[in-house]
Chains A and B, each alone.
Chain A
Amino acid sequence: MGTETVNLLDTELRALNDRLHHLDLSKDPSHFVVEEPRGKHNIACGLTDEIVVDIKGHAGYYCAGMNQRATLTIHGNCGIGVAENMMSGTVRVEGSASQSAGATGNGGLLIVNGNAAARCGISMKGIDIVVRGSVGHLSAFMAQAGNLVVCGDAGDSLGDSIYEAKLFVAGSVKSLGADCIEKEMRPEHLKTVGALLERAGIDDVDPASFKRYGSARKLYNFDIDNADKY
């Protein structure tokens, strides 16, 4: 195990990422602490090893982008596209996340302890996202697969043009997007939500308080009589 601390005030971002991309886990530490991130972009993106990274402050755009296997915690807020296109691993944001959190993610778990702005989970392809607070407009736009769990409210046009992703919201939904409808919350969905809340360390929100939203599948194949719905 062992911990290595990297201070971004005196280490270039390139050097940090290069180090994290070329680890020999038989001798290198598997826990990294990044100090003074000061909103820098692209911190710890493209990780491939099963390591733990603690970012002690705010991060800029695309933090933990395309993550594979690593577990990262941002002890602050983060900019656009946190954990974008993540494949596996876990990314936790202790503060709030800007737009497009978890965009196009294929796998792994993204937890946002605060709120997430617009387009959270846009085009998600299998990632699980748990947001303790609320999400902004056009969240889960064209979402293909995976689960988005929102303990607070959702903004306008939730799940617009959604495919097969499952959306769970405990609070209010300002409006649903094209082809997105409320669906029955069956026992298996309660189980899914319960398990995700547990993995996110959230024990004070009841899975039974969520409503489920998903695709009406009416726009899956073009039909001219649906033209006014586009």
Chain B
Amino acid sequence: MSTNENGMRESDLFDRATIHEIQRAAREGMYSIRGFGAKRKLPHFDDLLFLGASMSRYPLEGYREKCDTDVILGSRFAKKPIHLKIPITIAGMSFGALSANAKEALGRGATAVGTSTTTGDGGMTPEERLSSKHLVYQILPSRYGMNPDDLRKADALEIVVGQGAKPGGGGMLLGQKISDRVAEMRTLPAGIDQRSACRHPDWTGPDDLTIKINELREITDWEKPIYVKVGATRTYYDTMLAVKSGADVIVVDGMQGGTGATQDIFIEHVGIPTLPAVRLAVEALQEMDMHRKVQLIISGGIRNGADVAKAMAMGADAVAIGTGALIALGCNSPEHEEEYQKMGTSAGFYDQYQAGQDPAGITTQDEKLGARLDPELGGRRLANYLRTMTLEAQTLARACGKSHIRNLEPEDLVATTLESAAMAKIPLCGTSWYPGCDQGTF
């Protein structure tokens, strides 16, 4: 609780942000739509620690001994699974939400380090196909820009059931971001708000989805891995149903996951955090004897190598990043402070992805702004960030004596809070107990 210089107490309930939002709503008569992910404090990977090697565990030499990072995605049914050099992928972000240069930069950065990038609502741009060695093609409810030629050009397909920022919600690209090119790709008039449906148009439940997945496999001659992406809610059951529907890979996006444009109320109040979601997905896979057979990709608030290593120790095969990648390209950089100030915001606070006025040229369709982002330089920065995260994750894995990041295990972790212990089912440090565990000692 904060106090001002006169010793006056700020309300915890009606804090400045809340008061500001009520005033804004009263003025504008519209709920707040924004980009970025949840801003509230939630139990997260920061609440876990690695134990590291000790008398009973043998570490690997930090700078010398091998610690592999590769991952194969789609080995269940696909004739051509994807082999990535690092387990950090670039999540689906649409052309429309992002500029063409930003999409190209993501492709370049990902390709430089041997990982994949993903299309998004609105279809595949030639730039991103050209710049991405491994490109995952999203199949969303709107089916904007969806066509079978691009389907065949993709290296994997991802059926998007939901997104962590808005499970149960559709998309929205506000009119100011609908340039002629975006409009044409989506077969809609320029300048109008584009709603993306929240339900798929041609399947309604897991039984239908099984047939839908088979259709996609038939069309692509069973070559391509098929991912199913869900926003984290009833993750245990969703994972089971996705496996039953025939997915090769499951992508679980926690509520902290970023978005291009969603109602603030949705971002902050729907879904469950990434931490319990990983645990629930892994439990479901283990129960079905499908852990490591159907691969699990985790996203939602992955920022550094520690997050990567902890998600993998809990049983994920790989992670995906959105917001972190945009920041690496230059989003929220102090370089643009003057322009942020003019918009009433500041570097570190900028979340107006929906408005299309991004001074960094990333979340915009304005040609002049978009041209500010040099895709080569952006790609280089993203590659640096991905390499750094990988090195960090390897450092932690070696400290735990693992010659492959994937060999990290829940036993390498402890929790620092009761909440994280309960959600991750990882023992509270100094104990062998977590809430709900009937054997451990406190």
Q: How far is the CA of A42 from the CA of B221 in the complex (A)?
A: 12
Q: CB-defined interface of B202-218 with A at 8 Å, one 1/0 digit per residue? A: 11000010011011001
The B-contacting residues of A in range 186-227, CB under 8 angstroms, are 220-222, 224
Contact B195 A142 (CB under 8 A): yes
Decide: A163 near B146, CB < 8 A? Known: A14-B222, A17-B218, A84-B202: no
At the interface, yes or no: A13 with Cβ under 8 Å from chain B? yes
Contact A46 B218 (CB under 8 A): yes
At the interface, yes or no: B430 with Cβ under 8 Å from chain A? no
Q: How far is the CA of A99 from the CA of B143 in the complex (A)?
A: 17
Q: How far is the CA of A104 from the CA of B141 in the complex (A)?
A: 10
**B residues within 8 A CB of A68?**
148-149
At the interface, yes or no: B188 with Cβ under 8 Å from chain A? yes
B51 to chain A, nearest CB (A): 49
- A48, A81, A106: the one contacting B203 at CB < 8 Å is A81
Contact A119 B188 (CB under 8 A): no
At the interface, yes or no: A80 with Cβ under 8 Å from chain B? yes
Decide: A164 near B188, CB < 8 A? Known: A45-B218, A46-B218, A62-B215: yes
The B-contacting residues of A in range 1-42, CB under 8 angstroms, are 13-14, 17-18, 21, 41-42
Decide: A224 near B215, CB < 8 A? Known: A85-B143, A103-B202, A104-B201: no
At the interface, yes or no: A168 with Cβ under 8 Å from chain B? no
Q: How far is the CA of A18 from the CA of B219 in the complex (A)?
A: 9
Decide: A66 near B193, CB < 8 A? Known: A41-B214, A163-B188: no
Q: CB-defined interface of B176-209 with A at 8 Å, one 1/0 digit per residue? A: 0000000000111101110101000111000010
Query: Which residue on B lies nearest to A65, using beta carbons?
Result: B215
At the interface, yes or no: B220 with Cβ under 8 Å from chain A? yes
- A123, A164, A222: the one contacting B142 at CB < 8 Å is A123
Q: How far is the CA of A100 from the CA of B212 in the complex (A)?
A: 13
Query: Which residue on B lies nearest to A21, using beta carbons?
Result: B221
At the interface, yes or no: B147 with Cβ under 8 Å from chain A? yes
Q: How far is the CA of A61 from the CA of B218 in the complex (A)?
A: 13
Contact B220 A85 (CB under 8 A): no
Contact B219 A46 (CB under 8 A): yes
At the interface, yes or no: A87 with Cβ under 8 Å from chain B? yes
Contact B147 A85 (CB under 8 A): yes
B136 to chain A, nearest CB (A): 18
Contact A164 B189 (CB under 8 A): yes
Contact B148 A87 (CB under 8 A): yes
At the interface, yes or no: B29 with Cβ under 8 Å from chain A? yes
Query: Which residue on A lies nearest to B152, using beta carbons?
Result: A46
Q: How far is the CA of A144 from the CA of B201 in the complex (A)?
A: 13
Of B28, B148, B149, chain A has the most CB atoms within 10 Å of the CB of B148
Contact A126 B187 (CB under 8 A): yes
Contact A144 B188 (CB under 8 A): yes
Q: How far is the CA of A164 from the CA of B29 in the complex (A)?
A: 28
At the interface, yes or no: A136 with Cβ under 8 Å from chain B? no
Contact B189 A65 (CB under 8 A): no
At the interface, yes or no: A76 with Cβ under 8 Å from chain B? no
Q: How far is the CA of A119 from the CA of B197 in the complex (A)?
A: 13
B195 to chain A, nearest CB (A): 7
At the interface, yes or no: B272 with Cβ under 8 Å from chain A? no
Query: Which residue on B lies nearest to A146, using beta carbons?
Result: B187
Q: How far is the CA of A14 from the CA of B197 in the complex (A)?
A: 32
At the interface, yes or no: A125 with Cβ under 8 Å from chain B? yes
A-B contact count (CB 8 A): 104
Q: How far is the CA of A106 from the CA of B186 in the complex (A)?
A: 10
Query: Which residue on A lies nearest to B222, using beta carbons?
Result: A14
- A46, A126, A220: the one contacting B220 at CB < 8 Å is A46
Contact B175 A221 (CB under 8 A): yes
Contact A61 B215 (CB under 8 A): yes
Contact B211 A45 (CB under 8 A): no
Contact A42 B148 (CB under 8 A): no
At the interface, yes or no: A60 with Cβ under 8 Å from chain B? yes
**B residues within 8 A CB of A221?**
175, 191-193
B218 to chain A, nearest CB (A): 5
Q: How far is the CA of A62 from the CA of B214 in the complex (A)?
A: 10
At the interface, yes or no: A115 with Cβ under 8 Å from chain B? no
Contact B195 A45 (CB under 8 A): no
Q: How far is the CA of A145 from the CA of B188 in the complex (A)?
A: 8
Q: How far is the CA of A163 from the CA of B196 in the complex (A)?
A: 12
- A61, A106, A224: the one contacting B211 at CB < 8 Å is A61
At the interface, yes or no: B151 with Cβ under 8 Å from chain A? yes
**A residues within 8 A CB of B13?**
none
Q: How far is the CA of A225 from the CA of B191 in the complex (A)?
A: 20
At the interface, yes or no: A157 with Cβ under 8 Å from chain B? no
Q: CB-defined interface of A48-71 with B at 8 Å, one 1/0 digit per residue? A: 100000000000111001101000
At the interface, yes or no: B30 with Cβ under 8 Å from chain A? yes
Contact A103 B215 (CB under 8 A): no
At the interface, yes or no: A122 with Cβ under 8 Å from chain B? yes
A residues near B (Cβ < 8 Å) are: 13-14, 17-18, 21, 41-42, 45-46, 48, 60-62, 65-66, 68, 80-81, 84-85, 87, 99-100, 103-104, 106, 119, 122-123, 125-126, 141-142, 144-145, 161, 163-164, 220-222, 224
27 A-B pairs within 8 Å (CB atoms) are namely A13-B218, A18-B221, A41-B214, A45-B218, A45-B219, A61-B211, A61-B215, A62-B202, A65-B219, A66-B219, A80-B208, A81-B203, A85-B146, A87-B147, A100-B201, A100-B202, A103-B143, A103-B202, A123-B142, A123-B197, A142-B195, A144-B186, A164-B189, A220-B193, A221-B191, A222-B30, A224-B29
Q: List 15 extra interface pairs beyond A42-B211, A220-B175, CB under 8 A.
A: A21-B221, A42-B215, A48-B148, A62-B212, A66-B147, A68-B149, A85-B147, A100-B202, A104-B143, A104-B202, A123-B143, A123-B197, A163-B192, A164-B188, A221-B192
The 9 closest A-B pairs by CB, nearest first: A46-B219, A224-B29, A81-B202, A220-B192, A104-B143, A66-B148, A100-B202, A62-B215, A103-B201
